[in-house]
A = this chain, B = another copy of it.
Amino acid sequence: MTDYSPPARDVTFILKDLLRLDERSDPANYDMVDEDLIETIAHEAGRFCTRVVAPLNRVSDQQGCTRHDDGSVTTPDGFREAYQAWCEAGWGTLAQPEEFGGQGMPHALFTVIEEYLNSSCAGFMMYPGIMSGAVATVMSSATEELKQQYLPKMVAGEWLATMALTEGHAGTDLGLMKTAAVKQKDGSYAISGEKIFISGGDHDLTDNIVHLVLARVPDAPVGSRGISLFLVPKILPDSGEKNGVSVGSIEHKMGLHGSATCVLNFDEAKGWLLGEENAGLGAMFIMMNAARLAVGVQGLAHAEHSYQKAAAYASDRKQGRGMGARPDPSQAADPLLVHPDVRRMLMDARAFIEGFRALVMWTAVQIDVSHGSEDAETRKRADALVSFLTPVIKAFGSDRGFETAVNMQQVFGGHGYVTEWGMEQIVRDARIAMIYEGANGVQALDLAGRKTAKDGGAVAQAFFQMIAGECEAADGSLAFIADPLGKAIHHGEAAAKAIVEQAASDPNDMAGGAYAFMQLVGTLAVGWMWLRLSKVAKEKRDAGEGDAAFLEAKLATARFYAEQQLPLCTALRHRVKAGAGAMMALDTEQLLAR
């Protein structure tokens, strides 16, 4: 049963009416984008995903991956064929560089496919999902020779890739890693060590896999300043021989069973340096940042998929009676939809999904601008905003994505808890997004520390002032969202100020309030998108353009967001300002004794 229907109409509304992609000509590659292209991608990518990928979702969970006695790993039934179809259709090349066989389109358009694929089958998405970041990393740091050898295959999807960072004792703290890289006479390196939690570490989708591995050269400085990045293929392309990389085991996980999470053993595997020695973390961060945005999209995708299932169930399942006018008094019970508490959960999902989707796509445009604008100042400003919002999109998106999946499971009552309805799988699959690519607490710290305190709150305050300006400039008919947002933005400003002060006086206070600050920025940023969405919806409605029911739904959802979500900003500001005093008061014995 395919129960997922790609939200092509909403995507088109955001890309065309909100972001006006078809009217942009900076960066240069936006010239290719017209109304037709937007419609085509929104619908055709959807058809591909529902036809080819969504049918895999159940088997992905129930069969999972298998490691065989010879150490090889196979993916669930159907993954291989679907991956072939993915490559043949060329979806993966959409926003890849033309120089190496890509189509060179804006990243913002690829975001559409990223979302659809994640909704259809997140376990499958894990394999191609990594390639934007992997290609960008190799582009930015490999020698011309390596680029020519690897990038055409990677862009075409003929070879997949991994990010091999984590070790058993080195998770968030990459500085602790021990994997060693020793330079050989031919200029390559011999890599030895064990990496864990490597998504797609082995599989049967492609003949070769390009591992991007962090390791230390001899006498490297301790900590994160002594980490280098290497390209280590599973099969050596020149000789066709197997490299010294093997799969120790695959993990049994809460969900995402279709994604092979491997322990990888490197035994003097041949690798090539990317960039400079001891500068690997910076190179890897190109990949990490792409991955972090993709994880936010994953949260969005799980929320959308679970919403669709819950809305369908709530309109179908009859239970209890409505308190107002009853849709069909001849029936013994009304659909769940008549109950305000069920609506509350559904509307909360919509308000997150549609607002956050707009935010993700707005940010994707900024990514394109930061790379491709003709104007250096514009590039710089866009880059600062992307940098500021990346941890928010990753953490807020995955938190709210999981929360939404849990709420949509709740709509099903007991049926949500049994396997058959598929809701519990979405919850289990969605849970990992809050953890991987930097746990959400680490994202919050990145936002508060590196992205806010470090520049004295300059980018944060500029972001808030932009929103405040739009609230002030808003037409009176938008007061229902502009007024509460305009008030809430003061909490953002005050919280950012507090973060800067705390960083100077006691960084623990800053770290203690970081999570609430991330939630506050996320809540405000999505609220801001609701202001913009409302403005566009109202203009179109007043002009008699578009689907009136769709536009009215946007306005009602914005109102719901203003009533239900923006009030949280006061509490979040309080939490930021509270600092870490009570948090840190207990000693280890006090924390452990029960």
A166 close to chain B: CB less than 8 A: yes
Closest approach, in angstroms, between the C-beta of A49 and any C-beta of chain B?
13
Encoded as 1 (CB less than 8 Å from any B CB) or 0, chain A from 168 to 208 comes to 01111101100000000000000000001100000000000
Report if A439-B410 is in contact (Cβ < 8 Å); known contacts: A320-B173, A333-B176.
yes
In the complex, the answer to whether A594 meets B10 with C-beta atoms within 8 Å is: yes
Q: For A312, list chain B residues within 8 Å (CB).
A: 592
Q: Report if A324-B508 is in contact (Cβ < 8 Å); known contacts: A441-B341, A582-B563, A586-B556.
A: yes
Name the one of B255, B344, B582 contacting A512, with C-beta atoms under 8 angstroms. B344
A152 at the interface (CB under 8 A from B): no
Q: Which of A170, A255, A439 has the most CB of B within 10 A?
A: A439
A422 nearest CB across to chain B (Å) = 11
Q: A444-B341, A567-B575 are in contact. Are A559 and B588 (CB under 8 A)?
A: no
Give complex CA distance A498, B440 in Å.
Answer: 37
Stretch from A28-36, A283-291, A424-432 contacting the other chain: A424-432
A434 within 8 A of B: yes
A517 to chain B, nearest CB (A): 11
Q: Which residues A580-594 have CB closer than 8 A to chain B?
A: 580-594
Docked pose: A564 CA to B513 CA in angstroms: 10
List residues of chain B with CB within 8 A of the CB of A567.
Answer: 570-571, 574-575
CB distance from A12 to the nearest CB of B (A): 11
A563 touches B574 (CB 8 A): yes
Q: Answer yes or no: A103 CB below 8 A from chain B CBs.
A: no
Task: Assess whether A445 is interfacial by the CB under 8 Å rule.
Answer: yes
* Complex interface: stretch among A232-240, A377-385, A538-546, A547-555: A547-555
Instruction: Choose one: B261, B410, B549; the contact of A434 (CB below 8 Å).
Output: B410
CA distance A574 to B566 in the complex (A): 10
Q: Does A222 contact B (CB under 8 A)?
A: yes
**CA distance in complex: A323, B508 (Å):** 6
By a CB distance below 8 angstroms, the chain B residues around A559 are 581-582, 585
**A414 at interface, CB cutoff 8 A:** yes
Per the bound structure, the CA–CA distance linking A567 and B570 in Å amounts to 8
Contact digits for A199-224, partner B, Cβ 8 Å, 1 yes 0 no: 00000000000000000000000110
Contact of A173 among B333, B417, B589 (CB under 8 A): B333
Complex-state Cα separation, A347 to B312, whole angstroms = 39
Please, which residues of chain B bring their CB within 8 A of the CB of A176?
Answer: 319, 332-333
Task: Please name the residue on chain B nearest to A337 by beta carbon.
Answer: B588
Q: Do A427 and B435 touch across chains, with their CB atoms under 8 A apart?
A: no
User: Which of B439, B509, B574, B580 is A343 in contact with, Cβ under 8 Å?
Assistant: B580
A420 within 8 A of B: yes
A344 to B591 Cα, complex, angstroms:
12
User: In terms of DSSP, what is the predominant structure of the interface of chain A?
Assistant: helix
- B347 touching A583, Cβ below 8 Å: yes
Contact A582 B556 (CB under 8 A): yes
The CA of A417 and the CA of B434, in the complex, are separated in Å by: 10
Chain B residues with Cβ under 8 A from A345's Cβ?
Answer: 441
| Best-surrounded residue of A417, A435, A508 (most CB of chain B within 10 A) | A417
In the assembled complex, the Cα of A345 lies from the Cα of B173 at a distance in Å of: 19
Known: A311-B591, A556-B582, A571-B568. A319 touches B254 (CB 8 A): no
Q: Which residue on B lies nearest to A586, using beta carbons?
A: B553
At the interface, yes or no: A450 with Cβ under 8 Å from chain B?
Answer: no
Q: Is A560 an interface residue (CB 8 A)?
A: yes
Given contact pairs A559-B582, A570-B567, A586-B556, A428 touches B254 in the complex (Cβ within 8 A): yes
Residues from 329 to 349 in A contacting B, C-beta threshold 8 Å? 332-333, 335, 337, 339-347
Query: With A323-B508, A511-B340, A556-B586 as given contacts, are A593 and B419 in contact (CB-CB < 8 Å)?
Result: no
CB within 8 Å for A575 and B563 given contacts A253-B418, A342-B441: yes
Q: Pick the contact of A549 from B196, B254, B414, B589 — CB < 8 Å?
A: B589
A416 at the interface (CB under 8 A from B): yes
The answer to whether A417 and B254 have CB atoms under 8 Å apart is yes
Determine whether A27 belongs to the interface, using a CB cutoff of 8 Å to chain B. Answer: no
Assess whether A436 is interfacial by the CB under 8 Å rule: yes
Contact between chains at B347 and A582 (CB < 8 Å): yes
A20 contacts the other chain (Cβ, under 8 Å)?
Answer: no
Whole-angstrom distance between the alpha carbons of A8 and B593 in the complex? 10
Per-residue CB proximity of A293-335 to B under 8 Å, as 1/0? Answer: 0000000000010001001101100111001100000001101
Is residue A578 contacting chain B, with contact meaning CB distance below 8 A? Answer: yes
Residues of B within 8 A of A511 (CB): 323, 339-341
- Mark out the residues of chain A between 253 and 278 whose CB falls within 8 Å of any chain B CB in the assembled complex: 253-255, 261
CB proximity of A593 to chain B, nearest CB, Å: 7
Q: In whole Å, how far is A321's beta carbon from the nearest beta carbon of chain B?
A: 8
Is A51's CB within 8 Å of the partner chain B? no
A334 nearest in chain B by CB position: B173
- The 17 sampled A-B contact pairs (Cβ below 8 Å) are A173-B320, A175-B333, A223-B332, A253-B419, A254-B417, A254-B424, A254-B428, A311-B591, A337-B591, A340-B512, A342-B441, A410-B440, A413-B435, A417-B431, A427-B431, A552-B585, A571-B571
